[in-house]
Amino acid sequence: MAQAVQASIGDSEFDRDTAVTPRTPGVYDAELSAGWTILRAVNGGYLLAILGRALAHALPHPDPFTVSAHYLSASQPGPAVIRTETVRTGRTLSTGQASLFQYAEDGTETERIRVLATHGDLDALPDDVRTSATPPRIPPYGKCLGPADGPAPDIAGSSEIMNRLAIRLDPATVGWVVGAPSGKGEMRGWFALADGRDADPLSLLLTVDALPPTSFDLGLKGWTPTIELTTHIRSRPAPGPLRVAITTRNLAGGFLEEDAEVWDSRDRLVAQSRQLARAPR
């Protein structure tokens, strides 16, 4: 749908729904929004962004450089509390830990996800780039496929999160929608927030876990729960849609890895992530 006014960093759905409220030093309240669910579970990248916001407040450095998350139990929409610990503070980097808990009916807390993160200041880094990585070959935005392009690709059914995202997939990686997966274990496409908010380091934590799982392209159906997800944020993203390429090389023993890379509009590799997930049964 057309946006009358483009949302901005700090004033958008994503910012409101990942807000944290300090309760006591290092402890934050949050409300997990039903707007970021896949089927009924809250998206793992959305959770990472909330934890990243809490740590950005708790630590002396603003930007997540590397975030390692271990997923413990499925999160539900509703209230949550985040408890952080400052592990080490240095001149250019600081390390913290954060856990997100939700409440059972009897008031006991259940831990949903725990992260270790090292933060720094992306704007303080030198501009040197000596990368051999090249952007993924993805057709132009208009040639990729979104939910409005008919049965292919209704990429997540009735999942609420699809209303918050503008994802358009490379036609080469959507064969699974019509029963013809490539078998390569690849997923590629364009990523933007639906309200037009540009990307920042916190929203990149959402971006790395937002596309359909590569297991679909391997011909597998069903849930691919994340066990662990580590993300490196390497540069502040430039405005405009992002390109995301995800690959799985090793499906074995009932588990698989997903390697994601995210490129911005000036062809900078702004994020790299890898997760270990349980393969569909």
Number of residues that bind a second copy (CB under 8 A): 50
The stretch near a second copy (CB under 8 A) out of 21-29, 135-143, 157-165, 246-254 is: 246-254
CA distance 280 to 277: 9
Closest distance to a second copy from the beta carbon of 214 (Å): 11
- Select from 252, 172, 250, 270 the least CA-distant residue to 217: 172
Min CB(274)–a second copy separation in Å: 6
**Is 190 within 8 Å of 240 (Cβ atoms)?**
no
Q: Is residue 193 packed enough to be buried (19+ CB in 10 Å), middle (13-18) or exposed (0-12)? A: buried
Tokens of 156: 């997540």
Residue 60 DSSP symbol:
S
**Residues linked to residue 193 through DSSP beta bridges, in sequence order:** 165
- CA 266 – CA 263 distance, rounded (Å): 8
> Does 130 contact a second copy by CB under 8 A?
yes
Two tokens, residue 245: 């390429």
6, 40, 183, 260 from 175: Cα distances, Å = 33, 25, 9, 20
Measured from the CB atom, the residue of 98 and 174 that comes closer to a second copy is 98
| Placement of tokens 């030198």 in the chain | 126
Least spacing, CB of residue 73 vs a second copy, in Å: 7
CB 114 within 8 A of CB 72: yes
Of 47-55, 88-96, 162-170, 191-199: span binding a second copy (CB under 8 A): 88-96
Q: Residue 143 interacts with a second copy (CB under 8 A)?
A: no
Where does this chain touch a second copy (CB under 8 A) — which range of 140-148, 149-157, 197-205, 270-278? 270-278
Amino acid type, 69: A
Residue 239: CB minimum distance to a second copy, A: 19
Q: Which stretch binds a second copy (CB under 8 A): 15-23, 76-84, 121-129, 162-170?
A: 121-129
- Look up residue 261 and give its DSSP letter: E
Out of 13, 35, 70, 223, point to the residue binding a second copy (CB under 8 A).
Answer: 70
228 is an interface residue for a second copy by CB under 8 A: yes
- Single out the residue of 76, 163, 265, 272 in contact with a second copy (rule: CB under 8 A): 272
Report if residue 265 touches a second copy, rule: CB under 8 A. no
Q: Which of 65, 101, 191, 216 binds a second copy (CB under 8 A)?
A: 65
- Using the contact rule CB under 8 A, the part of the chain among 4-12, 45-53, 108-116, 135-143 near a second copy is 108-116
Decide if residue 74 touches a second copy (CB under 8 A). no
Determine if 116 is a binding residue for a second copy (CB under 8 A): yes
Name the phi and psi angles at 143, rounded to 5.
-95, -5
Decide if 110 contacts 73 (C-beta within 8 A): yes
Nearest to 244 by CA among 135, 123, 81: 135
Which residues bind to a second copy, rule: CB under 8 A? 65-66, 68, 70, 72-73, 87-88, 93, 95, 97, 111, 114-118, 122, 125-133, 184-185, 218, 227-228, 230, 232, 234-235, 248-255, 257, 268-269, 272, 274, 276
